[in-house]
Structure 1
């Protein structure tokens, strides 16, 4: 439908290196005595493991990009790399170098990790290739990473098939990959899938299916999905009309600072004015 928020996700935004570290947990320092017993590779794992890396050392919590302790992480990962570290060490060193602003070195080592089969490195290196206009090569890397179970690769394939970037546009395959990513826990994939079903974008319109995936994304905290599902409850399209449920969803979105959610709680505002004023929201991954 044309009166809902349409989160149009651009490939250039989706395929940024920073996207891979969304929703990671803060690093937890180990006691000094134990830290002294760690190998360089283990120290690198401790300081630079990504939440989205299925191959990371799960003896340690993942580390958000903003929480990487650059000095410690760079020293440990460089040492591990120089000791012929594996593809995971290569990826983690590239991640730390990127955080430190050393983009050229980061890209070189990221390419090395991707060529050595590290799935998340393939996603990130594909991102850089896509930014450089090499969409087909990026698409191939996403396919390889998705085959290894990487959730972000699945999401990127959904976007690629939806928008026909690096491949022929195919709504059915876009739905399939968005669904795979959403069922693996990705709220943005669930939202984008819902939008496709809601608006009949390259697939038949399915309001009931749209409500299902808006609900899934909303339960995971996706504000845009809260608003869109609220609008469905408000109008009774795809679900039984439920003004109270709609207001509850608008309130949840408003509490998270969403302007449309806040305006929908204003009894003076009208839906047509709100929708006319609402600009398309971009992918908020970081």
Structure 2
């Protein structure tokens, strides 16, 4: 239902804020399907006609295979945006970074890598505990520790790219909060790795599950402006600390559950 509504809105020229209003105090951008009465003069004519012109050229290109006229219209829109918009809103570096960010899809790949490395590492560590005389299990476990570290670095790079693109701390909505909690979970595992390698494996599995949930269709990954309630320096302090604590709490829960399960299993073996 959501996809059908998005497709319909795009057909009506909505959801694409490509038309900046010159000298607007709020720097508002309009979609071609919106009420464009705020535009005047030549700007009004351009705003009303340009999208329809582009769609017409695009449909024609589907038959002829010549997309040059459609690209020319895109160039006109680009020129208009640079002429009318506040220049700080159009940063070529951020545009290139966002294209790269979308192409890499780091968080989806990190989810699979976290889960795979976490499960394998946990199995190897358990075998190392059960068979301490065989060093191969312990050595293989240490080898697989390197993979979560590499995935964590890629995860960190993804958060950094999102921060650079949006210009704000990337934990301001549901999707970003999930991404950040997963990062905090992986960080917690790395911080306590010297005390217990199993902590890293559990933290890695938790991070993978959180990223998997974040990438479901119910989560919107769109980079959006801050809502008014979060437009405060407390976003960097209060929200960051509280959101990160969920990751550490999740690790504590998994360690506690594993400990209780291990104790119960060992007592049952002793009873037998």
Q: Please give the range of the TM-score, normalised by the shorter of the 2 chains.
A: 0.3 to 0.5
Larger radius of gyration: 2
Instruction: Please give the TM-score of this superposition, normalised by the length of structure 2.
Output: 0.33
Q: Of Structure 1 and Structure 2, which has the larger fraction of its residues in helix?
A: 2
Task: Provide TM-score, normalisation by structure 1.
Answer: 0.32
